[in-house]
Each structure stands twice: as C-alpha cells, then as structure tokens.
Amino acid sequence: MMRGAASTEVVAVMVMMLAVLNQLESAAANDSLSSNKSFCNIYRGSWVYDNSYPLYDSKSCPFIERQFNCKSNGRPDQDYLKYRWQPSGCNVIRFNGLDFLERLKGKKLMFVGDSLSLNQWQSLTCLLHNASPKAKFAITRSPSGLSVFSFPAYNATIMFSRNAFLVDIVGAPPKRVMKLDSISTGSLWKTADVLVFNSWHWWLHTGRKQPWDAVEYGNVTVRDMDRLVAYEKAIRTWGMWIDQNIDHYKTKVFFQGVSPDHARSKDWSKQGGNGSCIGETKPVMGSNYPAGPHPAEMVVEKVIKTMKHPARLMDVTLMSQLRKDGHPSVYGFGGHKNPDCSHWCLAGVPDSWNQLLYSELFHS
C-alpha cells in the first residue's frame, strides 16, 4: 500500500512538472511572437491596391488647400487613391479618427517644418474631420506662420508652425544670415504634447527662392557651403536643443523623415531619361527604390542616434520614394507651367504617414 501511494505521488509530481514546463514553453513562444512583432519595422514594406481606400473623399474636407486638391483640380485617374501601405513583417492598425480624438483630448499636437509639414497637417485634419464630420472645428492662421486647427468638443488642438530650416535666419535682404547653431523660436515648441518636425525641402533652393544671403556657424560666416553639410549642422543643433529643452517624460518628439521629390525619372526607371512625375499613375512596385537611400534621411538617422533622448524617426522616405504617382504634378497650384513633383495629393500619401503616426503614438 505504501509503495502504491508513493508511486501515485511521483506520478502527480511528474504531471505538475510537465504542466509547468508546458506553461514556460508557451510563455516563451508568446514572448518570441511579441518580440518579433515589436521588432517589425512598419516603415519597410510595399504598396498594395485596396478598394477600401481612400480613407476620406477630398470633397468632404472643405479646407484642403488648392495645391493639394488634385481631384478638384481635374486629375482624371483614380488609382493613386487606392493604395495602402503594407509593412513586410506585420500589419499596421487602420487609422481610427474617433479614437485619435479621444486620446488627444486636452492635448496639443504640433507639426513644425516646411510645406511638407503643411501637407501632413492638412491630411491629419481631414482624417479627423471625416471621423467626426458634425463636430465643430475652428481654424486660425497668424502672420507668424502658425496655423491652429481645434476641435472644441474634444479640447484637441492640431497645429502647424511654418519653420523650413528649424534654425534661425536673421536680418533683412541683402544681409540675411542663416545661423546653423542657433534656435531662438523654440519657446512655441515647448507648449505641445506631441511634436513632429520636418526639414529638407528648402535646403536645396538657390537664387530667388533662397531665403538667406550668408551662412554662419560659430565664428565663421560664408556666402554658401555644401547644403548637405549645412543641413547636418542644423539638425545637430536641433537635436541638442531638444535634449536640453524638452521634457521627454511629458512630450513625445518625432522627426517626420525626408519626403522625396520625383523630378528625375532616372531615379526609378531603367530607361532613365529626363522625365518627372508627370503622367505617373502607379507606384514603384515592391520594396526597393532603384536610386537607393536618400542622403538627407541618412543624416537625420545619424544625428538622432547621437541624442541623449532620441526623437522617434518616422522613416517615411522609402515608402514615399515608391509613390512617384502621388504628386499633384500638373494638377497642383502651378498647373502645366509649374508642375509639382514635391508635394502630395490629398487624399493620398500623407494619410499613410498619419496612419503610422497614429500607430506610433497609441499602438506601439
């Protein structure tokens, strides 16, 4: 009898041990799946055709600026509206405007940068207005370059501060100086709960479009310098300013990444040539862009790694490089005289940027 009881106890212990081992293996498997999911890069993938897109009709967004409203400007093709960004190793959550507004209650989100930031700001406001079309909204614009879109019912504010270089430009023509190591306009940035920065589009301008006459760094002033070198110095100044002035426990900081243009068809076409985005109606298919990484994006990535509290890089460059079809082209503000291969149609590519911002903010 004693021997039988002992055998029963041994079997019971063995069963318990097997159960514990099964639980540990299950937990390890779940951890592995979770880890794989957390390491999924949502900025690497491809564009897939999706009949449920676009996320809104531009006709339902009464405040889209003319330069982005391709459909209203007469663009006849529709396929550019139908592409959804699909990461390679996971799925990204679909944009939910009502959820976004609920989570943004009592907070301020600010885009800081050039007209590509304006593009993204308009996209987000259209997405949110579409989610709650009956909610009252207000738009104010100031001469200083600050645009404010607010939803009083949610006490939520989405702002755009026009600041193409992030660093200071002082003086008046012909003695305007861009100071690569100075930021004096950052007090406004401190008021936001979420900051999304962008800069690059204006760095290559010359002639009449160049808004400065000299460049200063430290005690050295020159008429000009390699623009990518100047850009890196400015982005380093921005990174140091963020580290020294923004409480990373209270404010989330993103850098939008570099939005590419499509002015040279040789960047994506094996045939090469001197074409542009004009007449393009489909994306570059797949996950690779023939011209390779954008040099300015590589600068941003390098600088962010040196920050004490690194900003989150919204690495939208590759996904945007693949969208040679997404620009206003001749259906923008400039028409056939000045086709636009830099900005983006709305609805369009910036909506996917904001979908990824939504994922980064609330579901990562």
Tokens found for residue 359: 């994922």
Q: Which of 35-44, 155-164, 333-342 has the lowest mean pLDDT?
A: 35-44
Of the listed 46, 58, 114, 115, which one is catalytic? Answer: 115
57 is catalytic: no
Catalytic pick among 340, 342, 351, 352: 340
Give burial (CB, 10 Å; 0-12/13-18/19+) of 77.
middle
Q: In the structure, what pLDDT confidence band is assigned to residue 20 with cuts at 50, 70 and 90? A: very low
Structural contact between residues 238 and 197, judged by C-beta atoms closer than 8 angstroms: yes
Element (H, E) at 344: none
Q: What are phi and psi of 169, to 5 degrees?
A: -125, 120
Query: What integer is the mean pLDDT of 180-186?
Result: 96
DSSP character at residue 194: E
Per-residue pLDDT at 31 exceeds 60: no
The model's confidence at residue 38, banded by pLDDT at 50, 70 and 90, is low
Q: Quick one: angle between helices 295-305 and 227-245, nearest 10?
A: 30
- In the annotation, is 340 catalytic? yes
Alpha carbon 121 to chain centroid distance? 10
Predicted confidence (pLDDT) per residue in 53-64, tens digit: 999 999 999 999
Residue 39 banded pLDDT, cuts 50, 70, 90: confident
Tell me how far apart the alpha carbons of residues 185 and 272 are, in angstroms, rounded to a whole number: 43
Pair 159, 147: CB distance under 8 Å:
yes
270 confidence band (pLDDT: 50, 70, 90): confident
pLDDT > 60? residue 5: no
Q: What is the mean pLDDT of residues 292-305?
A: 97
The pLDDT of residue 3 is 47
- The residue written with tokens 């923004």 in the block is 246
Query: Strand, helix or coil at 15?
Result: helix
> What is the C-alpha to C-alpha distance for residues 162 and 160, in angstroms, rounded to an integer?
6
CA atoms within a 13 Å half-sphere pointing along the CA-CB vector of 278? 11
| pLDDT tens track for 131-171 | 999 999 999 999 999 999 999 999 999 999 999 999 999 99
With pLDDT > 90 as the criterion, what percentage of the chain qualifies? 85
Residue 177 has pLDDT above 70, yes or no: yes
Pairing of strands 168-170, 214-217: unpaired
Q: Note the pLDDT tens digit of each residue in 75-87.
A: 999 999 999 999 9
Q: What is the DSSP letter of 313?
A: E
148: left (phi over 0), alpha (psi -120 to 50) or beta: beta
Please give the pLDDT value at position 22: 43
9, pLDDT greater than 80? no
Residue 343 annotated among the catalytic residues of the structure: yes
Of residues 197 and 34, which shows the higher confidence score? 197
Q: Provide mean pLDDT across the span 343-348.
A: 98
Q: What is the rounded average pLDDT of the residues 222-229?
A: 97
Task: Considering the candidates 199, 343, 351, 352, report the single residue annotated as catalytic.
Answer: 343
